[in-house]
Amino acid sequence: MSNTREAGSWWSQMFNNTGYQELPTTTVKDKAETTSQYTPRRCVRLSTRGIFLVLAAILLVPTFLALAALEGRQYLSDGTGDVFEVTEGQVAAPKATPGVVPDLVKGSSPAADVVPDIPEDPLDMPDSPDVLDESEVPVDPEAPAIPTSPEDPDAATVLDTETAPDALNGLDAPEAPEAPGIPVMAKPPKMPQQVSNRRLVILLPANAPGVNLCKAMVTAIALGYPTPIILNWGKSGSHLAKIAGVLDYLDWSVRLKSNHKDRLNADDLIMVADSSDSWFQLPPSVLIQRYHDLNAQADERLQKQWTGSGPCPMKQTIMVSTQKRCWPSPPSGSELHCGDLPESPLREDLYGPDTDADPEMRMVDVRPKYINSGAFIGPVGDMRRYFRRAQNRYTDKKALQGNHFYSDQGFFGEIWGEQEVWRTWRREIGDNIDGNLNASAMVRDQFEYHVGLDYYQTISIPTVFEEDDGDIVSLNNQTMIAARSAELEIEPVRLTQVPPEIANATNPIGRVVSAEQRRSLDWGDMNVYADFFTTAIPVNIHHNAHINNLKGRRIWWWPRMWFFPYLRDLVTAQLKQRRQQPLHRIQTPEDGKIVYWGLEKYKEIRRFMDLRKELVTSDFDGICMSKWAKKEKQNWWDVVFMDDRGAWEL
């Protein structure tokens, strides 16, 4: 073995030895000395050259990896953590421009708040384990267009419907980086928007089954509302029971554990409607949009009326339906302050030159400006406070004069009347009071309940005292509308077009007809109840007109509504949908983007049993088939669906 060969093979001996090898020496010998030491092959033998190579590796490998990372990756930061986004190929990231992300300085707004003019995607929700299929997302004409591009065909992700209402609440906006200059992708990923997810719950007080309750339920379901929750089952049929029934449910729902699927929060929206004589005729998107728009208009009126220099101490979050007569009268035990109530914002000549004069005391020519307790809508927190005040007032007066009250309307009207008296007084003194004083705050909290009336009657119309003001019409049939308007001496015709919030709403019939038929659907061709004077087309029709046996309209007008002959199929489509869809999305000045949903069990028919403190599942037979109908062998589906298709099956 030569010196050259042995000296050159030490590297292979170090790493490729298959057994025990001898350390090389300066003197090359033909045989190994018996005193030489052996090292197992798993150990690397050290030498001067080996040490240098190890040091070089320590220095060069990180450098090599860093260069590779810079070549193949780009660095993003939202100020809260480091996120690496793999780029396509070796293209370097362009410099940030004002059109993408503006320069950030220390102390500026969070990065999520400073990205300008990014098109808002109505389905821009955070990723979730289970997302909505695009085919299942209802078209929301009121939502902004979804931005798309050739490079990014999948421009939106959709919030999981089962966990969505709780997915975004409480997100904190990321902090801004302290210095600019961080390279950003030419097309950065979308930043999470601050979204408030809220519930919408419909409550129907009802103590027994019957077809009228059934009609209220199926019209709501057919339109895409969460199945209404029934209150006061098996209790007294008195309207007074509605106060405690609603309050018991709200108290129960807000005290559930935070992860309970039926828990309600203070900002969740509830609507209370009469169950024995009301129908729904417009979808939830119209209800929610009108609720926010009408409250904004009311707040604007309150601000204009405010005489102080500080913030206005009044606002509106609750709306109650309105009627033409102040009722009940003081002998009922309630003082409604009829002479101290605000004037209606409706046009002063609504019913002609004798508007509000009402010389015959028939109330037909009076603008609606008095409370009617047939329908309420408002947030859970404020509704609890309002209903608790009414319940306490009822309890106190019952102790004094017994249970001799006409209706719950007296208690709600009395509290609203006191609020308006306080508001008038507060405007008169303006800044001549320190609103920060405890006494001032106590007085305000005693009277200000954020209650207003649905003056335009677009949420609900009580037909009492308005027996001839409206009818079921097709808005595109202007010939018929003109003839009816002439009979009512309305010149020129006021009811001329479909309101934009209805025209933009998804047509429910589209769920049960062919694609070709869907293209020709027009809200103007559908029969809806409308008021010829106010032009109101309400979400809910309250058939409380009773003179001349007009309660019979619940039967006569039923087959004239737009949902025939589709009613059974509409109910089936809603109850068979695989995943819950958002009820409506709306952008608000105060709370930003809000998405409304139903409860998780939005398809189930449930009754709240206050003694058991739980929601009990029922079915259509349990709520639609009255004892009388069973005795007369009258099937509820024949009366409600009127389609000769036999028993209800899902």
- pLDDT on residue 435: 64
Residue 324 lies in a domain: yes
Beta bridge partners of 75: 84
For 430: left if phi > 0, alpha if psi spans -120 to 50, otherwise beta; the answer is left
Same domain, 304 and 435: yes
Same domain, 128 and 16: no
> Could you report how far apart the first and last alpha carbons of the chain are, in Å?
93
Of 191, 176, 179, 189, nearest in space to 74 by CA: 189
Contact (CB, 8 A) for 366 and 325: yes
Helix, strand, coil distribution of the chain in percent, nearest 5: 35, 15, 50
Q: 500 φ, ψ to 5°?
A: -60, -35
- pLDDT on residue 192: 56
User: Domain end: 20, 49, 69, which one?
Assistant: 69
Residue 534 CB contacts under 8 Å (≥ 6 apart), including other chains: 346, 350, 456, 457, 469
pLDDT greater than 50 at residue 150: no
Residue 202 lies in a domain: no
How many Cα atoms occupy the beta-carbon half-sphere of 389 within 13 Å? Answer: 21
Same domain, 26 and 175: no
Which of residues 64 and 29 earns the better pLDDT score? Answer: 64
pLDDT greater than 50 at residue 328: yes
Same domain, 34 and 154: no
pLDDT mean over 586-607: 96
Residue 429 lies in a domain: yes
Q: Quickly tell me which residue has 């303006």 as its tokens.
A: 430
Contact (CB, 8 A) for 217 and 623: yes
CA distances from 438 to 146, 404, 442, 529 (A): 50, 37, 6, 49
Q: 156 φ, ψ to 5°?
A: -140, 145
Give CA–CA dist 29/418, Å, rounded.
Answer: 115
The domain total for the chain is: 3
Beta bridge partners of 198: 596
Which of residues 447 and 71 earns the better pLDDT score? Answer: 447
Give CA–CA dist 148/150, Å, rounded.
Answer: 7
Residue 167 lies in a domain: yes
- pLDDT on residue 647: 97
pLDDT greater than 70 at residue 23: no
Domain hosting 448: range is 287-373+405-453
Tokens at residue 584, please? 């409506």
Give CA–CA dist 540/563, Å, rounded.
Answer: 14
Residue 117 CB contacts under 8 Å (≥ 6 apart), including other chains: none
Tokens at residue 541, please? 């029709």
- pLDDT on residue 190: 55
pLDDT greater than 90 at residue 532: yes
Helices of type H across 354-408: 380-401
- Confidence bin at 159 (pLDDT 50/70/90): very low
Tokens at residue 16, please? 């490729």
Same domain, 78 and 34: no
- pLDDT on residue 592: 94
CA distances from 178 to 80, 110, 191, 325 (A): 11, 11, 19, 64
Same domain, 301 and 423: yes
Listing DSSP states for 522-539 in one string gives -GGGSEEEEETTT----S
Same domain, 77 and 56: no
User: Domain end: 193, 219, 254, which one?
Assistant: 193
pLDDT greater than 50 at residue 414: yes
Residue 100 CB contacts under 8 Å (≥ 6 apart), including other chains: 184, 186, 188
Neighbours of 42 (CB within 10 A): 5
Same domain, 186 and 82: yes
Give CA–CA dist 490/365, Å, rounded.
Answer: 13
Same domain, 447 and 316: yes
- Confidence bin at 178 (pLDDT 50/70/90): very low
- One-letter amino acid at 499 equals P
Same domain, 92 and 186: yes
- One-letter amino acid at 453 equals L
Lowest-confidence segment of 60-74, 180-194, 541-555 by average pLDDT: 180-194
- pLDDT on residue 60: 74
pLDDT greater than 70 at residue 618: yes
Give CA–CA dist 452/299, Å, rounded.
Answer: 10
- Confidence bin at 331 (pLDDT 50/70/90): confident
DSSP 8-state class, residue 338? G
Tell me the angle at which helices 409-429 and 380-401 cross, rounded to the nearest 10 degrees. 110
Helices of type H across 488-598: 500-503, 515-519, 553-556, 567-576
Residue 13 lies in a domain: yes
Same domain, 77 and 53: no
pLDDT mean over 57-80: 53
Q: What is the mean pLDDT of the chain?
A: 80
Structure confidence by residue, pLDDT tens digits, 561-596? 999 999 999 999 999 999 999 999 999 998 999 999
Residue 416 lies in a domain: yes
- pLDDT on residue 63: 67
User: Domain end: 193, 223, 243, which one?
Assistant: 193
pLDDT mean over 536-543: 98
Same domain, 59 and 35: yes
pLDDT mean over 64-69: 57
- pLDDT on residue 359: 65
Contact (CB, 8 A) for 85 and 76: yes
